[in-house]
């Protein structure tokens, strides 16, 4: 028998090996998630052009060629009503099935397409590109020359030969620019496109990156093979331990799956190992490894894992294997969700069973629970990755490796039952410590949140106080100026400074004008205060766009023509003439009165003002734009144009004839109608105010 001290030393050694192995697995996983080692934020392509003029290869390292590439859809066998030619841009990385064209249709995954990217970079003698796995055949031209191809990129399934492994392309640069042209064909896989990024850098950097990827997979692959062979040896020595055989199958099939994907080690090593064969092995290995892992837990915890569940898992794995062998690659790859659901269901079933085993204090249940949890997380990640909703990497091999490592230690620790109570006490102390730290962290977070809330309230109060002071200042100025003028005129009349009758009448008329301006300012202040308080009740009525257009044409057409300004009020599409909106006509007249007369103020004689009605299909509404050919709005003023008392020319103040509240009132009225308003400058001159209002589809919901 082993002495107590010897067992303690063995236990400490086992813990040390466990910690080191888990740390290595974590490091390799994180290494697989990174594409470059630099922290500099790389630029992205826009409209098929990537500017790397400021990118220093030695300082910043290689970078992914992400962003918008020029894209031309060349045809598909799936969708007969889809156009054979479609020129647009495509986000890279990105799969075709997630891209939506201008008319709202989604691209099919089966077909072929053309990508192009223009790169402007610093002069360099030689550069290299890390080309990822592209689904499922391609030809890559660099500066017009063919540098890499995988399979045969044809125009249909007959002329296409799938082949999928990464490549490194080294080329001599011409000047300081590079043009990439990529023809991609996919008629054999459920997803078409570029799922992971291209990486551009100097030759040494890309070669090192490729070496790191290969070394990473080789290490994991070698670990899996060695662990599998070791447990086959354990089974040969003790045949009644079927758990060792199932665990060996789990290791070997995970290694087989890893060798079939990623860097494609089996494709490189085995002559005639085609892409079709590799993907069949990938799916078969995925199904069998799930079954083998579940069977291993069934043998380890037979009282918790149900026998019926194990039989169902066996039949399910057999059905998936036969389905993979009997159907074309596109068919079974389109059913990836079935494989993922199968493994995920087994994983959750094993998780519940092991959780129950942990509650019952079964040997090694905690380590098994950690391993299964890590596997489930990676399976969920891969389901999102293969569906195109995230851009990470395939993590299931690492999750399976983590599970395998956990269970390797379980088998190793099965002979140390004597010290299980000591371990349990240690784990309980750790749990109490972690719980205490968590509570302290929670209290600290609550205090920080309270402090942040107080700070935000203080900032908001300061902002409101500043706004109040600014409002009082603006109101005081806009009231003081006309009152001062009125006082001066009245004193002049009292002191008989103005004695001529005609001058007196002119002065009185001017005074009345100032009084009207004051009344208008007071009315505007009252109206915006009522609008902002939400105490306005709209008197809405359903109005067709054609009728509304006629009202505006009649209201402003003649007056603007007399001023020498061309006025156009039209519908962008005659088909929208009968569309109705629900509006308060009186208040909407106030909106257009402000917008049109503002436009008139900055539009010289001979210019034009246009009101255009258009459909807003995206938001199920209508757009009404008021455009002029005037001088436009200073870009610095655009963010504040709807603020109260904000005026484009701050030196004019009240003399401009406006109170500074008109556009603020316009915004409040539009938002009361559940609409939005924005302003932007036109090219080459002029500005446009654009209002978006919801459609009135149901009469009972368009009033009130």
Q: What is the CATH number of the domain that holds 65?
A: 2.60.120.260
Question: Which of 121-125, 185-189, 423-427, 455-459 ranks highest by mean pLDDT?
Answer: 185-189
- Overall pTM surpassing 0.75 (yes/no): no
| Residue 17 within any structural domain of the chain | no
Band (469; pLDDT cuts 50, 70, 90):
low
Highest mean pLDDT among 118-122, 378-382, 443-447: 118-122
Domain containing residue 258: CATH number: 1.20.1070
Note whether 120 and 235 are same-domain residues.
Answer: no
pLDDT score for 556: 86
**71: exposed, middle or buried (Cβ count in 10 Å: 0-12, 13-18, 19+):** buried
Residues 550 and 519 in one domain: no
337 and 364 share one domain: yes
Q: What share of the chain is helix, strand, coil (3-state, %, to 5)?
A: 55, 20, 25
Phi/psi at 117 (nearest 5 deg)?
-140, 125
* Average model confidence (pLDDT) across the chain: 79
Q: Has residue 113 been placed in a domain?
A: yes
Q: Is residue 453 part of a domain?
A: no
186-222 pLDDT, tens digit each: 998 888 889 889 999 999 999 999 888 888 888 888 8
Query: DSSP assignment, residue 640?
Result: G
Contact 292, 243 (CB under 8 A): no
Q: Quick one: pLDDT band at residue 527, thresholds 50, 70, 90?
A: low
- Which whole number is the average pLDDT over 93-102? 76
| 624-645 confidence digits (pLDDT tens) | 999 998 888 888 888 878 876 6
Of the three residues 138, 163, 197, the one that is the final residue of a domain is 197
Q: How many domains does the chain have?
A: 4
More reliable by pLDDT, 386 or 558: 558
For residues 548 and 487, membership in a common domain is answered with no
Query: How many CA atoms does the CB half-sphere of 392 hold within 13 Å?
Result: 20
pLDDT, mean of residues 485-505: 73
25 in a structural domain: no
Contact between residue 75 and residue 209 where contact means Cβ atoms under 8 Å apart: no
d(CA 138, CA 193): 10
Residue found under tokens 């918008």:
68
Over range 547-563, report the average pLDDT: 87
pLDDT of 541: 87
What are the pLDDT digits (tens) for 3-16? 444 444 444 444 44
Does residue 187 sit in the same domain as residue 234? no
Buried b (16+ CB within 10 A) or exposed e, 178-215: bebbbbbbbbbbbbbbbbbbbbbbbeebbeebbeebee
Cis peptide before 353 (omega within 30 of 0): no
Task: Give whole-number Cα distances, 693 to 211, 221, 318, 514, 549, in Å.
Answer: 58, 60, 58, 36, 15
In this structure, are 597 and 697 located in the same domain?
Answer: yes
pLDDT per position as a tens digit, 9-37: 444 444 444 444 454 444 444 444 444 44
CA 186/CA 161 separation, integer angstroms: 9
517 & 577 share domain: no
The Cα–Cα gap between 305 and 352 comes to 9
Last residue of a domain, one of 532, 565, 582: 532
**Cβ contact 382:396 at 8 Å:** yes
Domain harbouring 617, CATH code: 3.30.565.10
Q: Is 261 among the domain residues?
A: yes
Convert the pLDDT of each residue in 443-452 to its tens digit: 888 888 888 8
The rounded distance, in Å, linking the Cα atoms of 199 and 390 is: 18
- Domain membership of residue 459 (yes or no) is no
Q: Which of 197, 230, 260 is the last residue of a domain?
A: 197
Asked if 500 and 585 sit in the same domain, the reply is no
Both 482 and 556 in one domain: the answer is no
Residues 268 and 155 reside in one and the same domain: no
Q: Do residues 247 and 383 share a domain?
A: yes
Does 521 share its domain with 552?
no
Do residues 531 and 672 make contact, with C-beta atoms less than 8 angstroms apart?
yes
Judged by DSSP in three states, 238 sits in coil
Domain of 527?
Answer: 472-532
């Amino acid at each position: 028998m082993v002495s107590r001290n010897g067992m303690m030393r063995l236990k400490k050694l086992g813990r040390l090996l466990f910690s080191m192995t888990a740390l290595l697995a974590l490091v390799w996983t994180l290494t697989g998630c990174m594409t470059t080692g630099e922290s500099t934020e790389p630029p992205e392509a826009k409209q098929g052009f990537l500017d790397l003029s400021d990118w220093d290869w030695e300082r910043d390292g290689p970078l992914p060629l992400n962003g918008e590439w020029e894209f031309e859809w060349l045809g598909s066998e799936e969708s007969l009503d889809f156009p054979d030619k479609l020129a647009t841009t495509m986000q890279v990385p990105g799969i075709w099935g997630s891209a939506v064209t201008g008319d709202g249709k989604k691209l099919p995954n089966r077909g072929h397409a053309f990508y192009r990217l223009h790169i402007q970079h610093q002069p360099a003698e030689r550069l290299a590109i890390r080309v990822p796995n592209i689904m499922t055949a391609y030809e890559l031209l660099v500066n017009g020359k063919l540098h890499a191809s995988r399979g045969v990129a044809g125009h249909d399934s007959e002329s296409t030969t799938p082949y999928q492994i990464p490549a490194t392309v080294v080329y001599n640069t011409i000047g300081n620019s590079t043009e990439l042209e990529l023809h991609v064909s996919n008629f054999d896989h459920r997803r078409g496109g570029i799922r992971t990024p291209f990486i551009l850098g100097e030759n040494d950097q890309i070669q090192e990156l490729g070496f790191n990827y290969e070394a990473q997979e080789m290490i994991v692959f070698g670990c899996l093979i060695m662990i599998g062979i070791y447990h086959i040896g354990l089974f040969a020595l003790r045949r009644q331990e079927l758990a060792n055989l199932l665990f060996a199958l789990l290791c070997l099939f995970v290694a087989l799956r890893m060798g079939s994907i990623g860097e494609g080690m089996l494709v490189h090593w085995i002559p005639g190992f085609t892409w079709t064969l590799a993907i069949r092995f990938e799916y078969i290995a995925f199904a069998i490894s799930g079954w083998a892992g579940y069977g291993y837990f069934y043998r380890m915890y037979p009282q918790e894992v149900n026998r019926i569940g194990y039989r169902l898992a066996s039949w399910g794995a057999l059905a998936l294997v036969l389905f993979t062998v009997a159907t074309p690659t596109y068919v079974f790859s389109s059913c990836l969700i079935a494989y993922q659901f199968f493994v995920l269901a087994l994983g959750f079933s094993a998780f519940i069973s092991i959780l129950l085993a942990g509650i019952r204090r079964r040997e090694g249940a905690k380590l098994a629970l950690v391993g299964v949890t890590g596997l489930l997380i990676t399976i969920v990640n891969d389901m999102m990755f293969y569906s195109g909703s995230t851009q990470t990497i395939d993590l299931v091999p690492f999750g399976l490796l983590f599970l395998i490592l956990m269970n390797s230690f379980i088998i190793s620790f099965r002979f140390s039952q004597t010290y299980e109570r000591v371990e349990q006490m240690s784990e309980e102390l750790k749990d109490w410590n972690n719980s205490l730290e968590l509570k302290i962290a929670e209290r600290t977070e609550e205090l920080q949140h309270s402090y942040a809330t107080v700070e935000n309230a203080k900032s908001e109060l300061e902002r409101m106080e500043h706004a109040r002071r600014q409002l009082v200042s603006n109101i005081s100025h806009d009231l003081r100026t006309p009152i001062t003028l009125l006082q001066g005129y009245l004193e002049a009349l009292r002191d008989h400074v103005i004695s001529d009758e005609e001058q007196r009448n002119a002065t009185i008329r001017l005074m009345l004008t100032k009084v009207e301006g004051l009344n208008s300012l007071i009315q505007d202040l009252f109206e915006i205060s009522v609008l902002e308080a939400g105490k306005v009740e709209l008197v809405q009525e359903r109005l067709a766009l054609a009728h509304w257009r006629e009202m505006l044409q009649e209201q402003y057409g003649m007056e603007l023509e007399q001023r020498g300004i061309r006025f156009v009020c039209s519908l962008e599409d005659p088909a929208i003439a009968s569309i109705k909106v629900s509006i308060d006509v009186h208040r909407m007249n106030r909106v257009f009165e402000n917008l049109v007369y503002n436009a008139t103020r900055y539009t010289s004689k001979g210019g034009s003002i246009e009101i255009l009605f258009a459909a807003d299909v995206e938001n199920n509404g209508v757009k009404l734009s008021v455009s002029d050919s005037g001088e436009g709005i200073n870009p610095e003023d655009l963010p504040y144009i709807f603020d109260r008392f904000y005026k484009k020319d701050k030196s004019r103040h009240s003399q401009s004839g406006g109170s500074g509240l008109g556009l603020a009132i316009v915004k409040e009225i539009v938002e009361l109608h559940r609409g939005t308003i924005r302003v932007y400058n036109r090219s080459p001159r002029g500005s446009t105010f654009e209002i978006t209002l919801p459609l009135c589809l149901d009469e009972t919901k368009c009033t009130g």
